[in-house]
Structure formats: C-alpha cells, structure tokens
Amino acid sequence: MKTKVIYKSESEEARVVEDYLRDVTRQTGHILETIDPDSKDGIALCNAYGIVQYPTLLALSDDGQMQNMWVGLPLPTISEISYYV
C-alpha cells in the first residue's frame, strides 16, 4: 500500500502538514510521499481521484485502487493511517 499527501507547500496549512509528516516518520519509521497538486503528476493524480481540496491524504493499494481518503484539516491521527503505510 502507498499513502500520498497532496498539499501546496506555499499555503497556510503547509506548516501543519510538514509537522504531521515529521511525526508520522518518527512514530512509524515510514516516509509518506508528498505531491504538489500544481505539478504535472499532481494534476494527473488529482484528476484521477477527484481531489479538489488540500491537504488530502490518499491511501492506495499496490494496483492503484483507492482504499481511503482524508480531506482537509484536521489531519487524521497517525493510528488511523498506520495500516496504510
């Protein structure tokens, strides 16, 4: 499984997301993939899964099927996403 975090690094929520990413890495030992929604890959991902609000955490199976999605703030607890990382 893969968990991706889609957020804009130049936004009001960026600091909250970056602190969250550090906490996830510290507690689980896994680094979550981050995606800029304005990049080429980010635009394609957002279109494919209907993402229109940031930050969004997206849990995908290995074959790309969406397992879960958390949209906006507050971010999910680390225990909520630990199954997917």
- For the stretch 42-81, what's the b/e string if a residue is b when 16 or more beta carbons lie within 10 angstroms of its beta carbon? beebbeebebeebbbbbbbeeeeeeeeebeeeebeeeeeb
pLDDT for the residue 43 = 97
Rounded percentage of the chain residues whose pLDDT exceeds 70 = 100
CB 8 within 8 A of CB 38: yes
pLDDT for the residue 51 = 97
Claim: this prediction has a pTM higher than 0.85: yes
Extract the tokens encoding 24.
Answer: 């996830």
pLDDT tens digits, 18-74: 999 999 999 999 999 999 999 999 999 999 999 999 999 999 999 999 999 999 999
pLDDT tops 90 at residue 85: no
